[in-house]
């Protein structure tokens, strides 16, 4: 409910006629959230500047030094994510809201709503918000290590290709087709049923039921044992239950590291008849992740693919866990990056 309240407040501030009074309300709200500076000092005389009207400006307000011999001016966007952008703060916040909610809107829809006039501007705005998410995930990895698994949790692991997809099979062969790297995924899932194990004769195979998942997505050069097992040891807690297919890279290697390893042979069935183990959690997740990346054309370059994988992780690890929802977390991370 708190996330809904924040979103409703932002929509009320950005929709409707953009009067000077409404500009001031949005600026004060962004200052309260520490997205915009609440206090600015003059770089020449080091005195406090005041917020004054400027009707000719797209923001309707600016910072102005009050000393007679100075009269220096600064934009309200000083040292914020809006710096060097010609898009109005109203349209910026509309874009921030849609980005945080993961709405599947085309760039044409954004231009039809007058959020931006060109696809290049929208690409730059999306890149800045992706950088905010990447910085937040790197901060999380340094602070907590991004570890999954543990008691009443299990981890499903798999690897997949994210290649460039040509529209209708036409057009030039982009660099994504030549990319030989794999995306190795580890999905931590909280179990509400018993974890996989050897069942009694005549008992129906009942695998663990998924409640919530936290993915760890890594781009690897090869999917051999030297590349995958160290990543598992780094991100998965010892003693956790790990489910995978029978790929030889981690066959017989994980029990030696202290993991309970269950496998399913996909050439025979999708659910193990002995233990009830399956990899449908991460197989379904791959579909969602690939749809997101392909829709945003996020696999054209290797670095762009890495950024989009970070955004997917951000939604699961930070955006969905914040008390004010993804929008509240995105505003918080914007404040930290541009403080």
pLDDT in tens, 215-263: 999 999 999 999 999 999 999 999 999 999 999 998 889 999 999 999 9
Q: Do 180 and 265 fall into the same domain?
A: yes
Average pLDDT estimate for 267-279: 90
Nearest to 195 by CA among 264, 275, 271, 95: 275
122 in a domain, yes or no? yes
How many domains does the chain fold into? 2
Q: Do 132 and 220 fall into the same domain?
A: no
Band of pLDDT at residue 284, cut at 50, 70 and 90: very high
Judge whether residue 1 has pLDDT over 90: no
The last residue of a domain, from among 284, 299, 314: 299
Q: Is 276:148 a contact under the CB 8 Å cutoff?
A: no
Q: Do 225 and 291 fall into the same domain?
A: yes
Q: What is the pLDDT of residues 143-196, one digit of tens each?
A: 998 999 998 899 999 999 887 666 566 666 555 456 678 999 999 998 765 556
Domain that holds residue 246: 148-167+174-299
Alpha helices of the chain — where are they, by DSSP H? 2-14, 20-32, 89-101, 107-112, 119-144, 175-178, 225-235, 280-295, 302-314, 325-337
212 in a domain, yes or no? yes
Q: What is the pLDDT of residues 187-211, one digit of tens each?
A: 999 876 555 655 555 555 455 455 5
Band of pLDDT at residue 110, cut at 50, 70 and 90: confident
Q: Do 89 and 220 fall into the same domain?
A: no
Q: What is the pTM of this model?
A: 0.88
Q: Do 125 and 230 fall into the same domain?
A: no
Q: Do 242 and 305 fall into the same domain?
A: no
Q: Identify the CATH number of the domain in which residue 213 sits.
A: 3.30.420
Distance CA(49)–CA(43), nearest Å, equals 10
> What integer best gives the mean pLDDT of the chain?
88
184 in a domain, yes or no? yes
Judge whether residue 298 has pLDDT over 90: no
73 in a domain, yes or no? no
pLDDT of residue 69: 87
């Amino acid at each position: 409910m708190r996330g809904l309240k924040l979103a409703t407040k932002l929509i009320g501030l950005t929709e409707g006629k953009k009067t000077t009074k409404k500009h001031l309300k949005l600026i004060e709200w962004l200052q309260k959230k520490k997205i915009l500076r609440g206090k600015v000092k003059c770089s020449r005389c080091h005195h406090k500047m005041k917020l004054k009207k400027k009707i000719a400006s797209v923001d309707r307000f600016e910072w102005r030094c009050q000393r007679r011999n100075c009269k220096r001016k600064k934009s309200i966007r000083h040292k914020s994510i809006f710096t060097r952008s010609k898009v109005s703060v109203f349209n910026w916040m509309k874009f921030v809201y849609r980005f945080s909610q993961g709405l599947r809107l085309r760039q044409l829809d954004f231009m039809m709503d007058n959020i931006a006039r060109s696809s290049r501007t929208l690409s730059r705005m999306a890149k800045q918000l992706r950088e905010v998410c990447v910085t937040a995930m790197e901060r999380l990895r340094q602070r907590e290590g991004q570890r999954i698994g543990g008691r009443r949790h299990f981890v499903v692991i798999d690897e997949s290709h994210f290649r460039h997809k040509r529209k209708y099979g036409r057009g030039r062969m982009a660099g994504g087709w030549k990319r030989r790297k794999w995306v190795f995924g580890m999905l931590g899932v909280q179990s509400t049923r018993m974890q996989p194990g050897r069942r009694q004769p005549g008992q129906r195979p009942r695998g663990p039921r998924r409640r919530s998942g936290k993915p760890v997505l890594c781009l690897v050069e090869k999917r051999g044992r030297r590349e995958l097992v160290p990543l598992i040891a780094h991100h998965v807690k010892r003693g956790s239950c790990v489910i995978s297919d029978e790929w030889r890279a981690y066959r017989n290697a994980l029990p030696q590291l202290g993991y309970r390893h269950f496998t399913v042979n996909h050439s025979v069935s999708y659910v193990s008849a002995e233990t009830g183990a399956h990899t449908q959690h991460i197989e379904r997740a791959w579909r969602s992740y690939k749809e997101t990346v392909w829709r945003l054309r996020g696999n054209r370059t290797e670095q762009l693919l890495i950024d989009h994988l970070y955004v997917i992780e951000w939604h699961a690890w930070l955006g969905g866990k914040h008390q004010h929802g993804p929008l509240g977390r995105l505003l918080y991370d914007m404040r930290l990056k541009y403080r």
